[in-house]
Structure 1
Amino acid sequence: MNRARWDTAGAMSTIRRFVVSRLDAAARSGSLTVGVLDESGQEKKGVATAGVKRQHMGCAGGIDNGINTVYLAYVRAGAGHALIGARQWIPAEQISDPVTAITTGLPLDLTFATKGELAGDLLREAYADGVRLDFVTGDEVYGACTSLRAFLEEHGQAYVLRIRATFTLTLGAGTCLTCEQAVARYLKQKHKWTIRSAGDGSKGERTYAWAWIATASPTHFLLIRKHRTTGELAFHYCFVPDGHPVTLPRLIAAAGLRWPVEESFEAGKSLFGLDKSQVRLYEALRHLVLVMAALAVCVANAAAARHCTDTQAMTPRHPDEQPPEDLGLIPLTVAEIKHLFNATTTPTSSLEHAAHWSAWRRRHQARARWFHHRARLATAYSRSANKWRLPY
């Protein structure tokens, strides 16, 4: 892979256009398209790899030695999601040290860029390929990047970016408050909060209390999410250009579509070896491109088969409801698509055998989901009977 001659950027562009066209074809008209920015790490033991440094690693749960890569994921509501761009973050000291730069294969024209700036580069490439996004989302790393927010606003791109509680906002009459102070001043009354779902999780809908506050700018808003049990707050800084629809449910839907990127990371790592590269040079990005291509193929097939393979029974409406005789099957997933592909390419595997076990797993998962929904209903009814209410 180090010695091969190929166009890494061109290969990534092909994957990007493939994913967008296939997911758009499988989606219902009008469903949201969201670009999600996030980074994923890979732990390393030595110091001879491009980009390696002691830094915060989400996979390690804290500070550890490793490398970080910034990704752009394309999420189409109701259809699927996949990774469509990647840029490895390289520390400034490696770029400025000529010996390290040569031994790790860094390009001669490489300059230092923050994760927010790398995210901007990924979006530029996506726009050049004709990718159109309703919203861009990301965590606090990207919400705190002033240059990234300015880039998005210059391009008229709506965004819902996570920010810290200490982020300062300019509200009406020029009042400057932190997010926490704004909530304490303007959201004391319970009727200002609304309970809405942020999307479906593995065990049912993920419901939170939500509220929003208008800023001094007519295009900027503060979106607040409150956990219904712990009361923990999460803040989102939102921008919606003039002439675009802006409603609380729409912003909530965009914020809820940030989490699928974690599923893409999990599938990429557990199914295709996204974090298993042993390449030390900067060209290790080629390994990521190949993994993204494999993931894209499975995602596209899962999206195309989603509606015709989803036979799940209706979710229960009462905690005493008895399950139907046939609870159906969940739709084909990326993991199941990979199992079936493997069965067709391995001489010793039987496609009939693989299909049988695939159906068994999907039936078992449909049954587990149905009972998870019923258990959640039972908990809600029990709390209501005891006159206990979830906090707003």
Structure 2
Amino acid sequence: MKYLKHLLVLTIFTYSLGSIYACNINAREMEPKQIVPKTPIEKPSKQYVKIALLLDTSNSMDGLINQAKAQLWDIVNEFTHAKCGNESRPLLQIALYEYGNDNLSSREGYIRQVIGFSNDLDEISEKLFSLTTNGGEEYCGQVIHTSLKQLDWGKNADDLKMIFIAGNEPFTQGKMNYRDAASDAKEKDIIVNTIFCGNYNQGVSTMWKNGATLTGGEYMAIDHNRQVVHIKTPYDDVIIKLNSKLNNTYISYGALGRQKKMQQSAQDSNAAEMEAGVAVKRSVSKSSRLYKNSKWDLVDAVEDDEEILEEIVEEDLPAELKGKSENEIKEYVMAKKAEREEIQGQIRELNAKREAYIAENQKQEKGELENALITAIKNQASKKNYIWD
């Protein structure tokens, strides 16, 4: 009898437990299923044009370096007018490598990163002017591979990422096969454009054309020793004078301030020593949105973030602002900003007249290197919905 009671109790307990479990399952089934929305993939708010210039600095390449020095500002000015598919303006970053120079380390393949990706136009100019030539071994595959490995190319598929390699020796030299380097570039959505300094057919036979074709890039042959002809216009002298006034609107601050202000002036001088036309084009670049100096100029820094005035310590201020209140400093900065915008506007207006004057004279002003770069850039940019206005 006692056994039957235990069996009855066990049966009731098991049945109750099963009923509770079943109820919980039914309750869960009756609850509406919650659909968890997928987190939208946010596209980066900024789009970049990233250009790596790989320049042969062996003995025969002085003309190429001079063209690069002269025409940096043409390339910058061209991108001032670029728009992305979303109507925003892309930011420009340039990196610079030299290769094929006996002064460089043989262990590194006679390759040196002169500057990584940067939007500091004064520093890029300074680095270009620091290049010197000397005979050496020219390893195209290896310098492409090195730039792919060392530079921060980013992962935004909408960015325009390009390598321009210029030289005059066979593309096949060195232990690193150029085909492997091109394959790596293509995998990272980086286009390799090749610029052979010499005869077009010679560049084809020495694999410069093939080096570009493998990534969908463009092959170009240029006369690197050709002198760039800058057309003098009635507006040049005025633009150069306005550039001097423009420099006076920069308020250097912090440890970098004095050094960068001197660098700005030095690059004005470098441009002017090449030719007045180069100085004019640099002045035009300095009137554009791409010439930003927030790291050392208080006007640009405040435009990016007004709170810097609350954070900056007096010892980082220039002499004219020491002992001033925050409001007084802000008024001074705003006055310089207004002055700068007026001068930049005048430069842009005069440059429009200058360009019209050049067009009316029906003369070709562009240099060989600039033609090659701009043509390739525009062709490849159009495939990513970039437009020019």
| Shorter-chain TM-score range | 0.3 to 0.5
| Bigger helix share | 2
For CA contacts below 8 A with separation 6 or more, give which structure has more relative contact order.
2
Structure (1 or 2) with the larger CA radius of gyration: 2
Q: TM-score, normalising length from structure 1? A: 0.34
